Amino acid sequence: MAPVAPTKPDLASRPIDMHVHVVGNGTGGTGCWLRVTGWHRPLAALMLRHIGLPGDAMSGDLDGLCVELLLKQIRCSSLGGAVILAQDQVHDDQGKVMADPGAFYVPNDYVIALARKHSEFLPAVSIHPARPDALEELERCLAAGAVMMKCLPNCQNINCADRRFTRFWERMAEAKLPLLAHTGGEHTLPVVQPAYADPRILTLPLECGVTVIAAHCATKSGLFDPEYFHVFAEMTRRFPNLYGDTSAFNVPIRGRHVPECLKEPLVGRMVHGSDFPVPVYGHWAWMRGSVNWKSFRRCQRERNLLERDYQLKVAMGFPPETFTRIRGLLRNGKAGEGIAGGKGR
């Protein structure tokens, strides 16, 4: 009998990493920029080395190298695709760009173009709702095939509770475009409004009917950050449209609440994200007893970071639905099939 090649699971049913950053310095006319200063410099260098990019990538073709690396990692992993995130600029409450606190910028058109070219990518756009053209930009991105909207209220200065943004949230809800919002402390990017790390700021979009995903489940990042995890957990009981992602759970502090995230009913609200290029270390999960020694060693040997993060979360006990649930939440989220054709809905 002729040997039968092992069949790869159908791309469209494989796990999705819904929290992946693409970064760049604008090489190749991508429009991206990156400003790394002070103590963020060694942190950025560490991240680059950790993900497997050369030390001089920052001043070279960072944009191209980052995309190439991501495609390679996705193709050699258990994943069917990844949601790549745009990053809007910091704006003040009047919608004017605040140049100083901006650390990096990734244009919506860049992630949309990448997703058109590579079926492994799904585009999440980023729009500050105070921008004078916010609604127009939202319509443009919807027509271009955006699957999600990403924002960092505390770093981008977005007061999601501002009533002036009601129409913006209502339009997102109507278009079934989910919102991925950073919650909890942040130490990789400059923070403009620390109070906006509180997930309660997301009440207005939730009330408007937007599907909201609280990045990191509002866990704290630094030792002295306020802890909002239990606020998030309580909110999931009130809002059936609130979810939490597991991104950056493999850094020292954020993974502390994994045991609670694995329990009913919270486990039914979890979606898988890595927060690439944030480092992935299994040590913390092992020290807390979330993974056993054998799994820790096996995962740690895995050099593909997207795969390592996925394997660690499987070893922690996250059920298979955690890794595919996002398909039902994304707009036009036929992950693994890309957005070729860019049809809006």
Residues near Zn ion, by CB under 5 A: 275
SS3 assignment, position 150: strand
Smallest distance, Zn ion to C-beta of residue 21, A:
6
Q: Report the alpha-carbon distance of residue 267 to residue 263 in Å, rounded.
A: 5
Q: What tokens were used for 283?
A: 């040590």
Smallest distance, Zn ion to C-beta of residue 66, A:
14
Q: Give the residue closest to Zn ion by C-beta.
A: 275
**Closer residue to Zn ion (CB): 17 or 275:** 275
The β-bridge partners of 106 are 87
If you write DSSP's letter for every residue of 213-279 in order, what string do you get? EEEGGG--SSTTSPP-HHHHHHHHHH-TTEEEE-TTTTSTTGGGGHHHHTSTTGGGGEE----BTS-
Residues 271 and 246 sit within 8 Å (Cβ to Cβ): yes
- Residue 182, number of CB atoms within 10 A of its CB: 26
**Closer residue to Zn ion (CB): 198 or 275:** 275
Smallest distance, Zn ion to C-beta of residue 20, A:
8
**Closer residue to Zn ion (CB): 275 or 309:** 275
Smallest distance, Zn ion to C-beta of residue 186, A:
9
Residues 213 and 275 sit within 8 Å (Cβ to Cβ): no
**Closer residue to Zn ion (CB): 254 or 257:** 254
Smallest distance, Zn ion to C-beta of residue 19, A:
6
**Closer residue to Zn ion (CB): 131 or 216:** 216
Smallest distance, Zn ion to C-beta of residue 247, A:
6
**Closer residue to Zn ion (CB): 189 or 261:** 189
Radius of gyration of the chain (CA): 19
